[in-house]
Amino acid sequence: MSRLNELRMIARVAQMYHVENQRQADIAKHLRISQATISRMLKRAQEEEIVRTTVVAPSGTYADLEAALRDKYDLSEAIVVECSEDRDGAIMARIGEAAAHFVEATLQPGEIIGVSSWSETILKMVDNIHPMKSGKAKFVVQTLGGMGDPTVQIHANQLTTRLARLTGAEAFLLSAPGVAQSREAKLVLSGDAYVRETMDLFEKVTLAIVGIGAIEPSSMLARSGNVFSTRELAAVKEAGGVGDVSLRFFDIDGNPVKTPLDERVIGMTLAELARIDRVIALAGGQSKTRAIQGALKAGIIDLLVTDKFTAGRLVSDVHDQIQSE
């Protein structure tokens, strides 16, 4: 009987605190009990399941899919966005909006941001970031060569410089093509003082924002000229490649696909990316599902922002069986 009386008192304290919204100090004064005892009773209310916590996901959010992605791919976080149709344009816009909010909310003072600038989805993210009243980031570093067709290059450069301006940071552009004509040309270009200055910052990046590409390049990357030939990409496929991050290829299990093409890319490597504290990937769509799966298995991504259709495919056992065939 004494236990029942004890639980009755605990339930009353819980009611006053959680339902009547009274402060602990006021409850203590009302019941003539110390505030420390009130605090212990509230904790006990949870242990006895007198108080149970229920999180109701708002409409348009996908907590179960996010949890499944975190569990399956060992992600620190996953963001799954609402999207009315499984179409690239709509998907990129929604992913960009969600990523912008997350970056704004979690950016740390003095952050050094690395950004892969040949990404339409990242461009959508930058379009949705609000200017920060007090500068938070220190540098925004371009992690893949930004020179290419002038009509497209302006987007890549603006992406980096705009992100720097919005976050109160200093921009470091990688003033070289993403793909050099040869290994020797890469060595010459990488020796430029300004290029070297930017590349030396790679090891200091604390937050990397990347896109994930299928073997077939995105329209923005293709227009830039920073791509390999059809024959070269066919060789990557034959070697098991399913996708890339900043033109560094990997297979469906996340293993790097090493080819001579690697020696022509001017930008961050997968090994350098893996050492960064936080890596946020923005990607979605039917055509990129295999590439996203490979990138997640590579262990280089900490947080994925994707759409509900792609998330469903990524967590589906049926999808895995198809990919292994």
pTM, 2 dp: 0.85
Instruction: Identify the helix (H) or strand (E) that includes residue 23.
Output: none
Q: Which residue has the tokens 């009386």?
A: 5
CA–CA separation, 240 vs 258, rounded Å?
Answer: 10
Residue 249: left if φ>0, alpha if ψ -120 to 50, beta else—which one? beta
The residues that bridge with 66 in the sheet, in sequence order, are none
> Which CA distances in Å does 228 have to 25, 225, 248, 260, 262?
68, 8, 12, 11, 11
Q: How far apart are the first and last CA of the chain?
A: 64
For each of the chain's 325 residues, which pLDDT tens digit applies? 588 889 999 999 999 999 999 999 999 999 999 999 999 999 999 999 999 988 888 888 899 999 999 999 999 999 999 988 777 778 999 999 999 999 999 999 999 999 987 788 999 999 999 998 776 899 999 999 876 666 666 667 788 999 999 999 999 999 888 888 899 999 999 999 999 999 999 999 999 999 999 988 776 666 666 668 888 889 999 999 999 999 999 999 999 998 888 899 999 999 999 999 999 999 999 999 999 999 999 999 999 999 999 999 999 954 454 444 4
Q: Which residue has the tokens 């060595």?
A: 187
- 44 three-state secondary structure: helix
Tokens linked to 293: 């799966």
- Answer for the pair 263, 232: CB distance below 8 angstroms, yes or no: no
